[in-house]
Amino acid sequence: GAGVSQSPSNKVTEKGKDVELRCDPISGHTALYWYRQRLGQGLEFLIYFQGNSAPDKSGLPSDRFSAERTGESVSTLTIQRTQQEDSAVYLCATSRASGPYNEQFFGPGTRLTVL
């Protein structure tokens, strides 16, 4: 496709369950970012992948959060033992390469609701 895609678009889960969110990048984009946006708030950086380099995990809020990406392909964000405060829209963005001169393009997000 032409843009970043994410699935599912909506996810409702029960507290304590694990969830997996998927991001399909724009073809050829080597850098991939995950952000979180709680209701009425700005975006929070979670994690960043650039090619085969070690990811920047500095934004992950707890060890319940993890993400994977193989090469320049799909990325998955996993939240284990979900809590109600995990409810948010999870956004994925990709760019051609790392570096502040390369714009990031966002997907539509996955809205996660933890009951």
DSSP label of 81: S
Supply the DSSP string of 8-22, one letter for each residue.
-SEEEE-TT--EEEE
Residue 114: helix, strand or coil by DSSP? Answer: strand
Note the residues at the interface with other proteins (CB under 8 A): 4, 31, 33, 35, 42-43, 45, 48, 50, 56, 59, 91, 93, 98-101, 103-109
For other proteins, the closer of residues 42 and 71 by Cβ is 42
For other proteins, the closer of residues 37 and 76 by Cβ is 37
R_g (Cα) of the chain, nearest Å: 13
Distance of alpha carbon 69 from its chain centroid, rounded?
11
Q: How many CB atoms lie within 10 A of CB 50?
A: 18
For other proteins, the closer of residues 15 and 38 by Cβ is 38
| Nearest distance, CB of residue 36 and other proteins, angstroms | 11
| Nearest distance, CB of residue 115 and other proteins, angstroms | 20
| Nearest distance, CB of residue 28 and other proteins, angstroms | 17
